[in-house]
Amino acid sequence: MHKPMMKVTTYTSKLVKPSRPTSTTDRYYKISFFDELAPTMNVPLILYYSAPPNDLNGPFENICDHLEDTLSKTLSEFYPFAGRYIRELSMIDCNDQGVLYVLGNANVRLLGILGLGHELDPGALNSLVPCEVGEVNDVNDPMLSIKVTTFECGGFAIGMCFSHRISDMGTICLFINNWAARSNGKHKHEIYSPAFNLPTCFPQRGLPDFRNPRSSVGIQNEARRFVFKAKVISAMRENVGLDENTPRRPSKVQLVIALFWKAFVHMEQANYVESKASFLIQAVALRDKVLPELYTNSCGNFFAIAPSRLRPGEGENITYRDFFMILRDSVSKTVQDCTKMLTHGKEEYEVVIDPYLESNRYMSPDNVVNMSLYIFSSWCKFSYYQADFGCGKPVWASPGKLPTQNLVILMDDHEGDGVEAWVHLDEKGIKQLEQDSDIQAYAI
């Protein structure tokens, strides 16, 4: 049966300002050292909600007005999100210019999207976010853009684009949960005021900026969602095995990344006569890993990059378990190095800076190194599935399609114990990945 193509019609677009003016003492916000590490892009996140009960807040227009009102109040605390970034000065002008707020209607039912399975086109979801992923860092670009889209069934989606210049997933979820708590009336108990103290703790160091394209037009990449259910994750753990060298329970994230890296290396062996080196980077959130736990309510980026490498030909004879161990050891070393750097007061920033500079070199169009680069970012274990704006919690969450090749975003499934992997490759790579025996054995 032919499934209709989703079309979203926008009927309102405005700027929402903070409910109270930002003080002059908070007018200019210099980004931190960790903010400098963030790529020049928006982070797209879409939350999907079933139709609210008929007796809740009246017509849907009233719900949108309520969301707008509570957004304005939330921005009074998250005031940099309503400002504009001045790239030449590496600071945000917290001028209360506002957040882009868009309302739209979709010509499909929410169930029509949720039921697509492997037929889902991630690119079609981009109509549910308010702007291009690359529209960021210019003086007129909002630091946050939001789009509320209504489906024919009465369900709706809240699509958000956060500037990665001051937002990692921890910050994004802090904002979303703050906004949601205000919206559902529980803010007295569930709101945690943000702290914009990271630039003071970790001053910027003048790192070079790697700019992504502003528009996805002309970028030849494809995206595909692969789903790993809890039962499959358990089978992957058994495949890795546990012994004295793996005392900790293997994380579902590392298991899935290892499976993809193994598949990518085998694809390269099939595509190239000469073996290529393989360089994989994982973004590692530090809020829940660095000891002691630091800055749980701090806004801004607080992550490091864990690099893993294989020399040319090295991946030909190693097992799935070997890939897993390389990745696990890299994350462990990165966390240990960052813990030493942050808790001992030593300015040994090279452990964070060097992988960043190395990955930027390999992403450069001028790169001639015989090496493949893969980027993995895990959004698992974050709290976006808890965001109840008064109509219940999300029934699903997703990114859109990003204009980047060799990128994989990992998210929890709705149940919380599985993984949804959003893989971005060229068209040939996606077709090869779909035929990989390991991917076929575990993913749907």
The DSSP letter of residue 21 is P
| pLDDT at residue number 368 | 55
Q: Per residue in 212-224, pLDDT tens?
A: 666 665 567 899 9
Q: Please report the sign of the dihedral spanned by the C-alpha atoms of residue 253, residue 256, residue 260, residue 263.
A: positive
pLDDT classification of 205: cutoffs 50, 70, 90: confident
Q: Please report the sign of the dihedral spanned by the C-alpha atoms of residue 196, residue 197, residue 202, residue 204.
A: positive
Cα 153 to chain centroid, rounded: 28
pLDDT greater at residue 190 or residue 123: 123
Please state, for a pLDDT cut of 70, what percent of the chain lies above it: 89
Residues 65-73, mean pLDDT to the nearest whole number: 96
Please state, for a pLDDT cut of 90, what percent of the chain lies above it: 65
pTM score of the predicted model: 0.93
Q: Is 304 helix (H, G, I), strand (E, B) or coil?
A: strand
| pLDDT at residue number 1 | 44
Q: Please report the sign of the dihedral spanned by the C-alpha atoms of residue 311, residue 314, residue 319, residue 321.
A: negative
Residues 9-27, mean pLDDT to the nearest whole number: 96
| pLDDT at residue number 295 | 62
Distances (CA, A) of 126 to 47, 97, 196, 412: 13, 25, 30, 20
* 58, pLDDT greater than 70: no
For residue 231, give every residue at least 6 positions away whose Cβ sits within 8 Å of its Cβ, in sequence order, or none: none
Say if CB 237 and CB 250 are below 8 A apart.
yes
* 107, pLDDT greater than 90: yes
Cα 8 to chain centroid, rounded: 23
pLDDT classification of 103: cutoffs 50, 70, 90: very high
Which is nearest to 140 in space by CA: 15, 38, 20? 15
Q: Per residue in 384-435, pLDDT tens?
A: 999 999 989 999 999 999 988 899 999 999 999 999 999 999 999 999 999 9
Say if CB 299 and CB 333 are below 8 A apart.
no
| pLDDT at residue number 97 | 97
Q: Per residue in 283-317, pLDDT tens?
A: 999 887 775 555 678 899 999 999 999 998 888 88
| pLDDT at residue number 291 | 56
Where in 254-395 does DSSP place strands (E)?
A: 277-285, 303-310, 371-378
Residues 162-190, mean pLDDT to the nearest whole number: 88
Tokens 């001051």, located at residue: 166
Residues 53-82, mean pLDDT to the nearest whole number: 84
Say if CB 268 and CB 278 are below 8 A apart.
yes
Burial class (CB in 10 A: 0-12, 13-18, 19+), 18: buried
Q: Per residue in 133-163, pLDDT tens?
A: 888 888 899 999 999 999 999 999 999 999 9
pLDDT classification of 349: cutoffs 50, 70, 90: confident
| pLDDT at residue number 207 | 81
